[in-house]
């Protein structure tokens, strides 16, 4: 079956864990003038995605989840939020003179939005409908919607099994690279005990609903914070999503290290899967975005080898 070569998916959802390349994938797809890219709208209080059931365990989603999901997607496709990169690139739906003059850039600034909300109340929220003065509403409805949703493994699994017209783009990073980046870029800003406690609660919820994973986890209370992070955010999440999607046409599996090694080939394949035109200008921008990524991707290996030699 070669459905993906003839029929464009209705929308795409980028899934994975933090520190694994999800932001980069969204940026690469944002280069196309035909995409409407949204970043972590589920983390915004005003977003309908934030009202959906917890994305940790699929059997907790409820029988009405399909209706809730479709409505949330339909609304998200017509909105922007404070986590989005508004006007970073030309779009078929944005009014280019306004973007070129910096009008879209102003929307990235919270204080400016608060001031504008005196006349347009919606801009005072964390997410708002795209205004008529910013974009063509008809063109926006024709845009290819891309949603980046980190750490939503239950939603991703459900989507793969129940919405074949939606493309799930799953990026996974080597656990060594993931853990190194997580330790340096996230854990240093948090209370390790609080992180461990939150991970314990998630793992316990999973163990209570799945005896297979309960056995694999073992004694949760003896885990270090690093072990709890790897078991939940890397092992359980990655295996659950890949297991649901590995034989499905609406699943695209991307290895972070392969994207780093050959970003042009992987991005061109991604654009083909999404039925987006591949142009020289996009190729040039992809090359620019990848200039320093290879050094970053292998830094953890160099660090590990140095520590082993001491």
> What are the pLDDT digits (tens) for 45-55?
999 999 999 88
Please report the pLDDT score of residue 298 as a whole number.
Answer: 55
Contact 78, 145 (CB under 8 A): no
Chain-wide mean pLDDT for the chain? 90
The single residue listed with the structure tokens 């493309």 is: 167
Q: In the predicted model, is pLDDT for residue 133 greater than 60?
A: yes
pLDDT for the residue numbered 290: 76
pLDDT of residue 138: 97
Whole-angstrom CA distances from 16 to 86, 89, 242, 244 are 22, 24, 11, 14
Structure tokens at 51: 């009202």
Bridging pattern class, strands 79-81 and 35-39? unpaired
State the pLDDT at residue 222: 94
Residue 3 pLDDT > 50, yes or no?
A: no
Buried b (16+ CB within 10 A) or exposed e, 159-194: bbeebeebbbbbbbbbbebbbbbbbeeebeeeeeee
Comparing 2-6, 32-36, 88-92, the range with the smallest average pLDDT is 2-6
What is the reported pLDDT for 151? 87
Q: Which residues contact 170 (CB under 8 A, 6 or more apart)?
A: 15, 16, 156, 241, 242, 245, 251, 252, 253, 254
């Amino acid at each position: 079956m070669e459905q993906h070569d003839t029929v464009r998916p209705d929308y795409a959802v980028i899934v994975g864990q933090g520190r694994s390349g999800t932001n980069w994938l969204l940026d690469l797809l944002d280069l196309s003038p035909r995409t409407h890219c949204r970043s972590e709208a589920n983390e915004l209080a005003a977003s309908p995605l934030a009202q959906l059931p917890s994305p940790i365990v699929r059997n907790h989603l409820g029988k009405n989840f399909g209706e809730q999901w479709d409505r949330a997607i339909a609304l998200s496709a017509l909105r922007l939020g404070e986590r989005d990169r508004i006007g970073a690139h030309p779009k078929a739906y944005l009014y280019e003179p306004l973007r070129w003059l910096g009008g879209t850039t102003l929307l990235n600034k919270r204080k400016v939005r608060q001031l504008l909300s005196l006349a347009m109340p919606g801009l005072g929220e964390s997410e708002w409908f795209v205004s008529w003065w910013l974009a063509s509403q008809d063109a926006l409805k024709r845009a290819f919607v891309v949603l980046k949703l980190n750490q939503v493994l239950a939603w991703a699994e459900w989507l793969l099994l129940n919405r074949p017209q939606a493309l799930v783009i799953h990026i996974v990073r080597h656990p060594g690279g993931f853990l190194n980046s997580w330790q340096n870029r996230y854990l240093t800003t948090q209370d390790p005990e609080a992180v461990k406690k939150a991970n314990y609660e998630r793992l316990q919820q999973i163990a209570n609903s799945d005896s297979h994973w309960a056995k694999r986890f073992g004694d949760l209370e003896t885990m270090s914070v690093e072990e709890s992070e790897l078991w939940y955010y890397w092992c359980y999440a990655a295996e659950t999503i890949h297991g649901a999607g590995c034989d499905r046409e609406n699943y695209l599996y991307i290895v972070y290290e392969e994207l780093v090694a050959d970003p042009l080939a992987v991005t061109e394949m991604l654009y083909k899967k999404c039925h987006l035109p591949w142009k020289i200008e996009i190729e040039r921008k992809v090359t620019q975005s990848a200039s320093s990524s290879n050094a970053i991707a292998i830094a953890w290996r160099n660090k590990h080898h140095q520590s082993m030699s001491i």
